[in-house]
């Protein structure tokens, strides 16, 4: 009776179906894969694969120079490995041939996006990306809640039109939810419930009702607002921590979160330095 195939061997068995070759050496493998674009152009990537604990990680081989060494927005981790998915969408556990085919399919789409990013300096499909670090958990909470308010609300979420602001007043701190710059809800941080206002429910139901009277939508919108705020705050913290640890933007995209974090941290540092200089100088002296 033959031994069951290991993850890397499962990948090697179906590699030709994806214009790829894979040479396995124990827990490591080297691969070459051709990405064919609709235009007819072909791009060949050289990759290194590693299997550990049943999971496969992949990165560009040292001989390659098509990808940045690190870019959160392009889903290249700080160690050079590719982030191919998160949670249930992560294809890295390869238990059978179908899982191997799924892994190759995800990799092909990932590398096609990389080719597009190289050319256009924009990461395609950004609206469907997973957030970074712990922010992904809050995203996983926010998105199903957003779906309760209909496809337009979900589109606005993915299009970046929904934002929050913390109103940290002493007696009644609250979160405010904005849609395209317009205030649509307030949530008490004490009760985690909507503050009663006249805002209409964003579900666009057959009857225009205040959110607090629209079935279960009041609590759903309160929970969504909290999750969205935590999502954005965790994302900001993740990127700021990368900058303070010495990571810098690779410059391959016109806009990216890490570049914004670099500017944000630099601004905070400048204000802190100015405050320190002012504190050391003391009050102005009056000369006679």
How far apart, in whole angstroms, are the C-alpha atoms of residue 148 and residue 216? 10
CA distances from 256 to 68, 179, 190, 241 (A): 14, 22, 34, 15
> In the numeric block, which tokens belong to residue 195?
């503050």
pLDDT digits (tens, 9 = 90+) for 257-276: 999 999 999 887 766 554 44
Residue 282 to residue 108: CA distance in whole angstroms: 61
What distance in Å separates the CA atoms of residue 55 and residue 50, rounded to the nearest whole number?
A: 8
Max Cα-Cα span within the chain: 101
Which pLDDT does position 286 carry in this prediction?
33
User: For 82-161, where are the alpha helices, taking DSSP H only?
Assistant: 97-120, 135-147, 151-158
pLDDT tops 80 at residue 201: yes
Lowest mean pLDDT among 124-128, 189-193, 242-246, 249-253: 124-128
SS3 25: strand
The stretch 3-20 carries a mean pLDDT of 90
Per-residue CA distances from 230 to 141, 159, 189, 196, 241 (Å): 10, 18, 13, 22, 16
pLDDT, tens only, 129-156: 888 888 999 999 999 999 999 999 999 9
- Which tens digit of pLDDT belongs to each residue from 25-34? 999 999 999 9
Length of the chain: 288
Residue in 111, 110, 98 with CA at minimum distance from that of residue 10: 98
**Does the global pTM surpass 0.75?**
yes
Query: What is the reported pLDDT for 131?
Result: 87
What residues form DSSP beta bridges with 46? 32
At 194, is the secondary structure helix, strand, or coil? Answer: strand
Between 282 and 64, the higher pLDDT residue:
64
């Amino acid at each position: 009776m033959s031994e069951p195939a290991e993850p890397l061997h499962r990948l090697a068995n179906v590699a030709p179906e994806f214009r790829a070759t894979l040479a396995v050496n124990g827990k490591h493998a080297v691969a070459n894969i051709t990405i064919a674009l609709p235009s007819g152009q072909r791009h060949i990537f050289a990759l290194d694969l590693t299997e550990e604990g049943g999971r496969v990680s992949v990165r560009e081989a040292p001989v390659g120079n098509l990808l940045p060494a690190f870019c959160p927005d392009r889903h290249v981790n700080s160690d050079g490995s590719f982030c191919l998915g998160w949670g249930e969408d992560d294809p890295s556990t390869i238990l059978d041939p179908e899982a191997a085919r799924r892994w190759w399919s995800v990799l092909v789409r990932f590398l096609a996006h990389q080719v597009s990013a190289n050319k256009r300096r924009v990461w395609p499909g950004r609206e469907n990306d997973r957030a970074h670090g712990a922010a992904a958990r809050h995203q996983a909470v926010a998105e199903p809640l957003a779906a309760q308010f209909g496809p337009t609300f979900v589109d606005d979420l993915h299009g970046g039109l929904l934002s929050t602001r913390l109103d940290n007043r002493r007696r009644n701190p609250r979160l405010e939810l904005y849609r395209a710059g317009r205030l649509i809800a307030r949530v008490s941080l004490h009760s985690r419930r909507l503050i009663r206002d006249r805002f209409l429910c964003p579900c666009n139901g057959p009857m225009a009702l205040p959110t607090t009277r629209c079935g279960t939508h009041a609590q759903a919108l309160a929970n969504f607002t909290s999750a969205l705020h935590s999502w954005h705050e965790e994302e900001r913290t993740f990127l700021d921590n990368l900058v303070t640890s010495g990571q810098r933007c690779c410059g391959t995209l016109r806009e990216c979160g890490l570049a914004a974090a670099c500017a944000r941290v630099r601004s905070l540092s400048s204000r802190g330095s100015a405050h320190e200089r002012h504190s050391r100088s003391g009050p102005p002296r009056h000369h006679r």
